[in-house]
Structure 1
Amino acid sequence: MSRKNLWVSAAVSLGLVGVAVAFGLMWRPTIDPIERPTEFDSAQIARGAQVITAGDCAVCHTRPGGKYLAGGLPLVTPFGTLYSTNITPDADTGIGKWPLEAFERAMRDGISRDGHFLYPAFPYKHYRLLSDNDLADAYAFLMTGPPVYEPATPNRMKFPMNIRPLVSGWNLMFLRSEPFPPTAQESQQWNRGRYLVEGAGHCGGCHTPLNFLGAEKDSHALSGSVVDGWEAPSLLGLAGREKPWTQAQLVGYLQAKVVDSHGTPAGPMRPVSQELARLPVTDVEAIAAYLLSLPASDSTSNANSVRTAVAEESASLGRDLFQGACAGCHGTAAPMRSIDGRPALTATSAVQASEPVNFIKTVLEGIAPTPGEPGPVMPPFAASLNDQQLTALAQFVRNQANPAQPWSDLNATIQALRQETP
């Protein structure tokens, strides 16, 4: 055989091997179904409930007005809209036929029982950090819950992301996290906090910027991002900021309470904090201790330059609007300030943030009450304040909080957020 033919033969062989490897990566075997197991120790089920709560599973797998963990919540991504799945133990539409092996594979590798790839909006990149015991406990809790018949809502993904096997390439590039051993020089509380933040709590899923393929930029972990139009602020350097967080403040905030100098969670963080409030306080304290230990980075510094002072006319309008619409709850003499310890509006994290997104979103959408849950309530002002009024109000409030660094591009931000407001 000539040298040329040898090269051609070798190239063809390598090509066939490459195709075989590619198809192998894009396919996973089905795991045989089983009869739903229900015999679990009550203590294990209770532990599993805490794992599910720490993982915020209900936040994504329960749609408004829907059954607990039955799925159907739309998750809008740059690649299309996903709908969360039914993770109740229903045999036909849920995970009732899944053995523990299939559950562990889904949680760690993003592969369903039938072998199809799960989209990484499901944070298996973080859940793969969970211990065997925690996964087994979570499985026990889910299998002993009430089954709900709820067929999956078809996803609406854009081409080519609607081709699920392509997720195998995403996994190959970005699925590198492995369970980590405790850090010996750190306390047990710190290690527990890290485990919850990086594992079940998957805080990086919202608070870490994403690359063009939707993967977290690990080199900028927890440095802040945008979720559903809300700013998910940086979690770095919380203890060393101009208005530093204390352990007590952060614990209260994570439990959906109103805390002095920082306010209360709103937007996508509110249901997360309400779930965290159901955890043992020692877990929330561990999360806070770990987050407060994280140093600041260059990316967390305020990039806004000092700009001109707020125009007098706009300041006057903003002052009048604050007195008429906000002072009843947020003014110095407001009864709610003394009744539930509500901080001054200028002291809240939304007003102290370098960008106005969270403040404007809160004013537009308000804070809806959660049936059966205590907590602050705020009406939406999207219909009662026009863009000029909202701009003036934002300028006034920001000027009271941080006159040296006024918010820029308020009008453009308001118009963009109005389009997203339901």
Structure 2
Amino acid sequence: MGKSKAARRLLWGGACVVAGLVGFTAWAIKPAIAPVTPPAPISFDTTEIQRGEKLAAAGYCVTCHTAAGGKPFAGGLPMVTGFGTIYTTNITPDAATGIGSWSLAAFTRAMHEGVARDGSHLFPAFPYDRFTKTSNEDVKALYAYLMSQPAVSQAPKAPDMPFPLNVRLLQAGWKLLFFKEGRYEPVTTQTAEWNRGAYLAEGLAHCASCHTPRNALGAEKTGDARYAGAVVDGWFAPALNASNNSPVPWNADELYSYLRKGGTAYHGVAAGPMSHVVYQGMALVDDSDVHAVAHYFASMNGSASRNVDVAQVVAGALARSRFDASQTVERGANVYAAACAACHYNALSGPQAARPELGLKSSLSAADPTNLVNVILHGVSLKEGLPEAMMPAFGTALTNDDIAALVTYLRKTRTDLPPWQGVAQLVAKQRDDAKKN
């Protein structure tokens, strides 16, 4: 009797598993949407195209969908993930290799549900979990803009991912766990400016995609980890929440100046991927929208409640940067005196955006030294940071030990924060990774 009951339970359990798999498969399989003839640019309203251009900038479409040296929006940019390398797709209106045969309905489904025209599930490297918040009207304008761009014939590259991670159907399982489809809903207790900033930041601009750490399955963490900072593309996207301990708070004015101008005297300059946000993204966005995004993040990072005496903080940073001959017994101090002091010494003039006071820079107060290491290794080009200002790369002039000593010295003498661990190993890794790329 016992064996009979056990057999029945096993049979019922197996049947439930089979039924569940059949149900999941039926739900996961999405129908293809019929192809269309690429719409002529003249069929779109000029005003809508222009609005779509700004929306594309806010979403950094050209940044992600353009390979180094490639045609705009033609795809091919490698995105290295913990599961393999994914190459961005061609989103020009080429019918054979791009999205020229996609109707507005197909484009909207991709943006809102993460499903391609042929019914296949998109990998979440395409941040549809953020784009789903974008309104139908804005998706329509974005579609009009992209369909008005020059068509480029460039076949997409297949993802370099091991089986079964490369099976598109399995992405539906990821969606069941982590994806919530739906448009942005305004918060009635907040102002119109706050809601506009939240709509852009949480949706099309997908700020959380870089500034929020991810779990083992590649989904954004929630709770206190939201906007807590994360390593992305070899850089550290700093915390945008209250855990950011920059000496001078990131208030709305500082955030606006950084996003609009590429840097501030109190926080340093944009470099690496963040320079694309400034110059390929926010540069084309309306001023009111940049203000709105700055206002939104300032409201969540606790800057208004920190009660920091900025003048005192600045005075302290200037005092720490004054040359002390006794420090030159340290290797890092000698490297600083030889390579850095001439440009980063502000004396009594006060900090200047074009020559950042290192004791105020976010890269020195961050929980991770990656950005400081990268800037020393690779510099800040004229295309990054502030217009007509640059920092030379010291990767060829300084050894790994020199840079590690410099980074350790700056953290110790310019902040009261605990020392970073594993600096020497990080410097070697960042240099090696740059050679590979």
TM-score, normalised on structure 2? 0.85
- Other-structure match for 1:214: 218
The number of residue pairs the alignment matches comes to 405
Task: Give, in whole Å, the separation in 1 of the partners of 2:162 and 2:208.
Answer: 25
Residue type of the alignment partner of 1:195: Y
Cα RMSD of the aligned pairs, angstroms, is: 2.8
- Other-structure match for 1:291: 297
- Where does structure 1 lack aligned partners over 5 or more consecutive residues? 298-311
- Other-structure match for 1:320: 334
CA shift for structure 1 position 19: 3.0
Q: Does 1:271 align with 2:276?
A: yes
1:365-387 deviations in whole A, cap 9, x for unaligned?
2223339x935322322222112
Task: Give, in whole Å, the separation in 2 of the partners of 1:315 and 1:56.
Answer: 47
- Other-structure match for 2:97: 93
Structure 2 SS opposite 1:226: strand
Structure 1 segment 62-73 matched on structure 2, within 5 A: 62-73=66-77
Q: Does 1:348 align with 2:354?
A: no
Decide whether aligned partners of structure 1 residues 329 and 20 sit closer, same or farther in structure 2, where only a CA change above 3 A counts.
same
Q: 2:185 aligns with which of 165, 181, 184?
A: 181
Task: Give, in whole Å, the separation in 2 of the partners of 1:112 and 1:73.
Answer: 19
CA shift for structure 1 position 183: 1.2
CA shift for structure 1 position 405: 3.0
Residue type of the alignment partner of 2:433: E
Task: Give, in whole Å, the separation in 2 of the partners of 1:125 and 1:202.
Answer: 9
- Other-structure match for 1:25: 27
Residue type of the alignment partner of 2:163: F
CA shift for structure 1 position 284: 0.8
The worse-fitting range, judged by mean Cα deviation, of 11-20 and 353-362 is: 11-20
CA shift for structure 1 position 399: 2.8
CA shift for structure 1 position 327: 2.9
CA shift for structure 1 position 16: 4.5
Q: Does 1:133 align with 2:137?
A: yes
Contact 1:50 1:279 in 2 (8 A): yes
Decide whether aligned partners of structure 1 residues 391 and 105 sit closer, same or farther in structure 2, where only a CA change above 3 A counts.
same
Structure 1 segment 197-212 matched on structure 2, within 5 A: 197-212=201-216
- Other-structure match for 1:329: 343
The worse-fitting range, judged by mean Cα deviation, of 272-281 and 62-71 is: 272-281
- Where does structure 2 lack aligned partners over 5 or more consecutive residues? 304-325
Decide whether aligned partners of structure 1 residues 9 and 348 sit closer, same or farther in structure 2, where only a CA change above 3 A counts.
closer
- Other-structure match for 1:301: none
Structure 2 SS opposite 1:165: helix
Q: Percent sequence identity over matched residues?
A: 38
Task: Give, in whole Å, the separation in 1 of the partners of 2:293 and 2:156.
Answer: 34
Task: Give, in whole Å, the separation in 1 of the partners of 2:402 and 2:6.
Answer: 76
Residue type of the alignment partner of 1:329: C
Decide whether aligned partners of structure 1 residues 10 and 323 sit closer, same or farther in structure 2, where only a CA change above 3 A counts.
closer
Task: Give, in whole Å, the separation in 1 of the partners of 2:392 and 2:348.
Answer: 16
Task: Give, in whole Å, the separation in 2 of the partners of 1:246 and 1:163.
Answer: 44
TM-score, normalised on structure 1? 0.88
The worse-fitting range, judged by mean Cα deviation, of 259-268 and 387-396 is: 387-396
Contact 2:120 2:169 in 1 (8 A): yes
CA shift for structure 1 position 228: 1.8
Contact 2:111 2:131 in 1 (8 A): yes
Decide whether aligned partners of structure 1 residues 389 and 31 sit closer, same or farther in structure 2, where only a CA change above 3 A counts.
same
CA shift for structure 1 position 255: 2.4
Structure 2 SS opposite 1:370: coil
Q: Does 1:413 align with 2:418?
A: no
Task: Give, in whole Å, the separation in 1 of the partners of 2:216 and 2:161.
Answer: 16
CA shift for structure 1 position 143: 0.7
CA shift for structure 1 position 331: 2.6
Task: Give, in whole Å, the separation in 1 of the partners of 2:244 and 2:7.
Answer: 67
Decide whether aligned partners of structure 1 residues 8 and 258 sit closer, same or farther in structure 2, where only a CA change above 3 A counts.
closer
Structure 2 SS opposite 1:354: coil
- Other-structure match for 1:233: 238
Task: Give, in whole Å, the separation in 1 of the partners of 2:296 and 2:240.
Answer: 10
Structure 2 SS opposite 1:82: strand
Q: Does 1:391 align with 2:396?
A: no
Task: Give, in whole Å, the separation in 2 of the partners of 1:268 and 1:357.
Answer: 13
- Other-structure match for 1:300: none
